[in-house]
C-alpha cells in the first residue's frame, strides 16, 4: 500500500518536473532582457509592439466569430441528433473527430484547392472571403471539442422530456431551442467556447497558409528574429490557455451545481 | 357526445403493434386512469392524445374537434411528466408562466394567473426558487401548476408520482384529485400502481398487451374483474381452479370439496374447468363468521402485516390467501393446522380468460 503510494507520488513528481521545468526556464529567460537583473522588459516590448496588438486583436476577432458560428452549427446538430436522429450519432461523432486525424495542412490545402480565386466559390479572391474561409477552417479544427462539450452538457439534461414539456405548452422550435435547451447547455457551450478560443489564438498553419495576420504566424515571426520576446510570448500564450481551462472548470462546476435533482 | 373520444386507435412501431383497436369515451370533468404493467401501451395511448406519437390508425377528438393530426403545440393540452421536466434555467414563477408567455398573454394577466396557480399548489413563497433548490414533491406540484396555467382542455398525467417517496405520493395524489375536482378539468392519469388508480379515479381502464381489458369504476374493477388479467393485476385476488359438477344448480368441485356458486353456470358442461376469484378480505376462520360456504384446508403460512394477518391455506392444491384484521386476542393459525375458511358464495366470481 505504502509502496504503491510512493510510486504514485514519484510519477506525479516526474510529470510535474517534466512539465514545469521548461516552463520555469522559459519564464526565467523571459525576465533576463535587462543585463544583470530580472525585469519585465520583454513583456513591455511585446505589449508595445503594434504588430502584437494587431495580430492578437485579429485572432481574438476570428475566435469570437468561430465560437458564434461554430455554436450555431453545433448546438442544433447535437440537439437534433440526440432528439430525433440517435441512429446518426456514430456518423456525426466520426465526422466531428475527422479534424483530429487529418493534419491541418491537408485541410488547408484542400480549402485552397476548392476555394481559390479561380474556383466556383472564390473565397480567397478577397480579404473578406479569406477571413470567412479562415473562420470556417477554425470551426473545422475546433469541431471535435465543441461537439463533445455541447453533447456532454446535453447528456446531463433530459432533452426529450424538456422539449416535449415546452411543446405541449405551445412552444415552437426556436423558442424550445433558445429558451429551454440552449440556456441549460450553457456550461458545455462555454467550455467549448473557451477551448476554441485557446485553439484559435495559437493556431499557425491555417492562418499562415491563408496569409492572414493572425497571432500564430506573429509568434513564429518573433521567434525567428528576436531573443527574449518569444519566451515572453510563450508565457502569455500559456497564460491565455490556462485562463481558458480555468474558466472551463468553473463553468462546468457551476453547471453541475444547478442540475435538477430528483 | 363525449368530451374526449378515442376511436379505433392503433399504434405500431415497425412490425410490433403496441396498441390494438383502442376505444374510449371520456366525459367532461372525468378523472380516468390507465392502469397496467410496464409495456402494456398505456403511456403510448397518452402520448397519442398529447400528439407526441401519431396513431397508425383511428381518430382522437377533443370537444368534437378532430385532433388526430395536430401537433402537440396546437392541442391545448396540459401534461405532467414522470421526471417533472421543469426548465432548470427558470425560476418557479417563470416555469409556471412559460405557457402563458408563449401564448402571448399580457404581462399583468400572466402575473395574476401564475400567482393564482402557485396559491393553488400552496407554493407562493417559493416563486423565486429554481428547480434544483426544491424537493421532488415540490417540483412535481410546480409541474402541475405549469400544466394548468394556460387553462388546457385536457390534463394528462404520465406516472407523475412514480419518482416520489411513499408518503409524498399519497399526499400529492390527494392534492391532484382535489385540484382536478376544483377546476373540473378532464384528466387522464397513467399509472402502474393499482392503489393510486383505485383511490383517485372516476373510472379505470385496465390495459393489457395494448388492449383495454376492462373499463369501469374502481369498485367494478376491484369487485367484478372481467378477466383473469384484471383479477390478478388489481388487488391480491385468489384464483381458484374448479371443475363443474352440476351446471343446473351451480355446483363445482374445488379439490375434493363441493361448493355451490351463486352465479349461473348453466352454459357450462359437467367436467369443464372453471377459474374462480376470491378476495382475500372475503373469508374468515371464525366459526361465528357469516357465510354460506366453507372450504377446509391446511395452513401454509401466517404472516403478521401490521393491521392485518395474511394467512395462506392449501385447498386441494389451490393456495388461498385471506386477511384477518389484527386484534390483541387474535390467535395466529399455526403452519399445518387444519382450518375452515368461511365466506359467502356470492364472493366467488367466475373469471374469463
Q: What's the pLDDT tens digit per position in A137-161?
A: 999 999 999 999 999 989 888 899 9
Asked if pLDDT for residue A262 goes beyond 50, the answer is no
Query: A5 pairs with which residues across the strands?
Result: none
Tell me which range, A227-231, B101-105, B252-256, B301-305, is most confidently predicted by mean pLDDT: B101-105
Separation of alpha carbons A125 and B87, rounded Å? 47
pLDDT value for A15: 94
Interface of B with A (CB under 8 A): 50-52, 71-73, 75-79, 81, 83-89, 98-99, 102-103, 130-132, 136, 139, 143, 146-147, 150, 163
Residue A16 scores a pLDDT above 90 = yes
In this predicted model, what pLDDT tens digit does every residue of A158-204 receive, in sequence order?
899 999 999 999 999 999 998 999 888 888 888 888 889 888 988 99
Angstroms from B183 CA to nearest CA on chain A: 18
Per-residue pLDDT reduced to its tens digit, A22-42: 999 999 999 998 888 899 999
What is the reported pLDDT for B292? 82
Helix (H) or strand (E) holding B130: none
Which member of B73, B76, B146 has the closest CB to residue A171?
A: B73
At A31 the pLDDT is 93
Evaluate if residue A258 carries a pLDDT over 70: no
Question: Higher pLDDT residue, A62 or B223?
Answer: A62
Write down the pLDDT at residue B125: 93
Grid cell of A155 as nine digits: 447528456
Give residue A191's pLDDT. 85
Mean pLDDT within B76-86: 93
End-to-end alpha carbon distance in chain B = 32
Would you call A183 helix, strand, or coil by DSSP? Answer: helix
pLDDT at B329: 80
Q: Which residue is listed with cell 422539449?
A: A163
In this model, does residue A261 exceed pLDDT 50? no
Are the C-beta atoms of residues B84 and B61 closer than 8 Å to each other?
Answer: no
The beta-carbon neighbor of A171 closest among B102, B131, B132 is B102
Closest Cα to residue A133, out of A219, A41, A200, A206?
A206
> 3-class DSSP state for residue B233?
helix
pLDDT tens digits for range A65-100: 999 999 999 999 999 999 889 899 999 999 999 998
Per the CB < 8 A criterion, the answer to whether B80 and B173 are in contact is no
Place of cell 406516472: B159
Indicate whether B8 pLDDT > 80: yes
Higher pLDDT, B106 or A186: B106
- Over residues A196-218, mean pLDDT: 90
Give the C-alpha distances (Å, rounded to integers) separating A169 from A115, A176, A235, B69, B147: 46, 10, 52, 17, 7
In terms of C-beta distances under 8 Å and separation of at least 24 residues, what long-range contacts does A107-112 make, across chains too? Answer: A107/A137, A107/A140, A107/A141, A107/A206, A108/A137, A108/A205, A108/A206, A108/A209, A108/A210, A109/A209, A111/A136, A111/A137, A111/A210, A112/A209, A112/A210
- The pLDDT value recorded for residue A84 is 87
All three cell numbers of B199, joined, read 383511490
Q: Can you tell me the distance from the alpha carbon of B283 to that of A110, in angstroms, rounded to the nearest whole number?
A: 85
Kind and range of the H or E run holding B6: strand B4-13
The arithmetic mean of pLDDT across residues A34-60, rounded, is 90
Residue A1 pLDDT: 57
In this complex, how many residue pairs, one in chain A and one in chain B, have their CB atoms less than 8 Å apart?
A: 81
For residue B289, pLDDT over 90 is answered with no
Q: Given a cut of 50, is residue A260 above it in pLDDT?
A: no
Q: Which of A127-136, B40-49, B289-298 has the lowest mean pLDDT?
A: B289-298
Q: What is the DSSP letter of B352?
A: B
Q: Inspect the interface and report whether the beta carbons of A167 and B81 lie closer than 8 Å.
A: no
Q: What is the mean pLDDT of chain A?
A: 88
Task: Render pLDDT for B120-159 as a digit per residue (tens, 0 to 9).
Answer: 999 999 999 999 999 999 999 999 999 999 999 999 999 9
For domain A61-256, the CATH class is mainly alpha
Partners of A262 on chain B (C-beta within 8 Å) are: 83, 136, 163
Please report where in the chains the cell 423565486 appears, as a residue.
Answer: B128
What is the separation, in whole angstroms, between the first and last Cα of chain A? 39
- Predicted confidence band of residue A3 (pLDDT cuts 50, 70, 90): confident
Minimal Cβ distance to B99: which of A161, A169, A179:
A169
| pLDDT tens-digit map of A233-242 | 889 888 888 8
* C-alpha to C-alpha distance for A210 and A132, rounded to whole angstroms: 11
Nearest to B172 by CA among B140, B195, B135: B140
Taking only Cα atoms into account, the Rg of chain A, rounded to an integer number of angstroms, comes to 22
Mean pLDDT along residues B206-226: 91
In angstroms, rounded to a whole number, what is the distance separating the alpha carbons of residues A140 and A142? 6
Q: CB–CB of B308/B284 below 8 Å?
A: no
A186-202 vs A127-155: helix crossing angle, rounded to 10: 140
Chain B residue nearest residue A257, CA to CA: B132
Mean pLDDT of the B161-168 span = 86
Average pLDDT over residues B251-258: 90
- In this structure, are residues B201 and B31 in contact, taking their beta carbons and an 8 Å threshold? yes
Q: What is the mean pLDDT of chain B?
A: 91
Kindly report the nearest CA distance between residue B132 and chain A, in angstroms. 4
Per DSSP, helices labelled H in A31-126 are 41-48, 50-83, 89-101, 104-115
Amino acid at each position: 500500500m505504502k509502496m504503491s503510494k510512493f510510486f504514485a507520488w514519484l510519477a506525479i513528481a516526474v510529470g510535474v518536473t517534466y512539465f514545469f521545468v521548461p516552463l520555469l526556464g522559459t519564464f526565467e529567460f523571459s525576465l533576463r532582457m535587462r543585463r544583470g537583473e530580472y525585469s519585465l522588459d520583454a513583456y513591455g516590448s511585446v505589449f508595445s509592439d503594434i504588430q502584437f496588438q494587431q495580430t492578437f486583436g485579429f485572432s481574438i476577432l476570428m475566435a469570437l466569430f468561430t465560437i458564434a458560428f461554430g455554436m450555431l452549427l453545433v448546438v442544433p446538430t447535437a440537439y437534433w441528433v440526440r432528439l430525433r436522429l440517435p441512429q446518426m450519432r456514430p456518423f456525426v461523432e466520426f465526422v466531428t473527430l475527422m479534424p483530429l486525424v487529418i493534419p491541418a495542412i491537408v485541410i488547408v490545402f484542400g480549402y485552397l484547392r476548392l476555394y481559390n480565386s479561380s474556383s466556383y466559390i472564390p473565397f480567397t479572391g478577397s480579404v473578406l472571403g479569406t477571413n470567412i474561409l479562415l473562420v470556417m477552417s477554425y470551426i473545422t479544427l475546433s469541431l471535435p471539442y465543441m461537439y463533445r462539450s455541447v453533447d456532454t452538457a446535453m447528456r446531463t439534461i433530459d432533452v426529450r422530456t424538456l422539449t416535449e414539456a415546452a411543446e405541449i405548452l405551445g412552444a415552437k422550435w426556436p423558442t424550445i431551442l433558445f429558451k429551454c435547451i440552449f440556456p441549460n447547455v450553457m456550461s458545455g457551450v462555454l467550455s467549448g467556447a473557451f477551448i476554441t478560443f485557446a485553439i484559435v489564438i495559437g493556431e499557425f498553419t491555417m492562418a499562415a497558409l491563408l496569409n492572414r495576420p493572425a497571432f500564430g504566424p506573429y509568434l513564429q515571426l518573433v521567434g525567428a528574429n528576436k531573443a527574449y520576446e518569444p519566451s515572453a510570448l510563450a508565457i502569455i500564450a500559456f497564460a491565455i490557455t490556462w485562463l481558458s481551462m480555468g474558466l472551463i472548470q468553473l463553468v462546468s462546476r457551476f453547471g453541475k451545481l444547478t442540475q435538477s435533482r430528483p | 357526445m363525449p368530451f374526449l373520444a378515442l376511436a379505433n386507435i392503433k399504434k405500431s412501431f415497425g412490425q410490433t403493434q403496441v396498441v390494438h383497436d383502442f376505444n374510449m369515451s371520456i366525459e367532461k370533468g372525468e378523472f380516468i386512469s390507465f392502469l397496467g404493467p410496464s409495456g402494456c401501451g398505456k403511456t403510448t395511448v397518452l402520448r397519442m392524445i398529447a400528439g407526441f406519437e401519431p396513431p397508425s390508425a383511428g381518430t382522437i377528438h377533443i370537444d368534437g374537434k378532430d385532433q388526430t393530426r395536430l401537433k402537440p403545440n396546437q392541442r391545448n393540452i396540459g401534461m405532467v411528466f414522470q421526471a417533472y421536466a421543469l426548465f432548470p434555467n427558470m425560476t418557479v414563477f417563470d416555469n409556471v408562466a412559460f405557457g402563458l408567455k408563449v401564448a402571448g398573454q399580457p404581462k399583468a394577466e400572466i402575473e395574476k394567473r401564475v400567482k393564482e396557480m402557485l396559491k393553488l399548489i400552496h407554493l407562493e413563497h417559493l416563486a423565486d426558487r429554481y428547480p434544483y433548490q426544491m424537493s421532488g414533491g415540490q417540483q412535481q406540484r410546480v409541474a402541475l401548476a405549469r400544466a394548468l396555467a394556460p387553462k388546457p382542455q385536457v390534463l394528462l398525467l404520465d406516472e407523475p408520482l412514480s419518482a416520489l417517496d411513499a408518503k409524498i405520493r399519497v399526499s400529492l395524489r390527494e392534492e391532484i384529485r382535489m385540484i382536478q375536482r376544483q377546476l373540473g378539468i378532464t384528466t387522464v392519469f397513467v399509472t402502474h400502481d393499482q392503489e393510486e388508480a383505485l383511490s383517485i379515479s372516476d373510472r379505470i381502464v385496465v390495459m393489457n398487451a395494448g388492449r383495454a381489458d376492462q373499463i369501469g369504476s374502481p369498485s367494478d374493477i376491484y369487485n367484478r374483474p372481467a378477466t383473469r388479467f384484471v383479477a390478478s393485476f388489481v388487488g391480491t385476488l385468489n384464483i381458484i381452479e374448479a371443475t363443474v359438477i352440476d351446471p343446473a344448480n351451480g355446483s363445482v368441485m374445488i379439490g375434493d370439496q363441493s361448493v355451490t356458486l351463486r352465479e349461473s353456470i348453466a352454459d357450462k358442461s359437467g367436467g369443464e374447468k372453471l377459474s374462480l376469484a376470491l378476495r382475500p378480505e372475503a373469508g374468515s376462520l371464525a366459526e361465528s363468521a357469516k357465510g354460506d360456504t366453507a372450504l377446509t384446508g391446511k395452513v401454509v403460512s401466517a404472516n403478521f402485516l401490521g393491521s392485518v394477518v395474511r394467512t395462506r391455506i392449501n385447498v386441494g392444491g389451490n393456495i388461498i390467501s385471506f386477511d384477518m384484521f389484527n386484534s390483541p386476542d387474535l390467535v395466529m393459525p399455526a403452519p399445518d393446522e387444519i382450518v375452515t375458511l368461511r365466506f359467502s358464495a356470492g364472493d366467488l366470481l367466475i373469471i374469463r380468460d
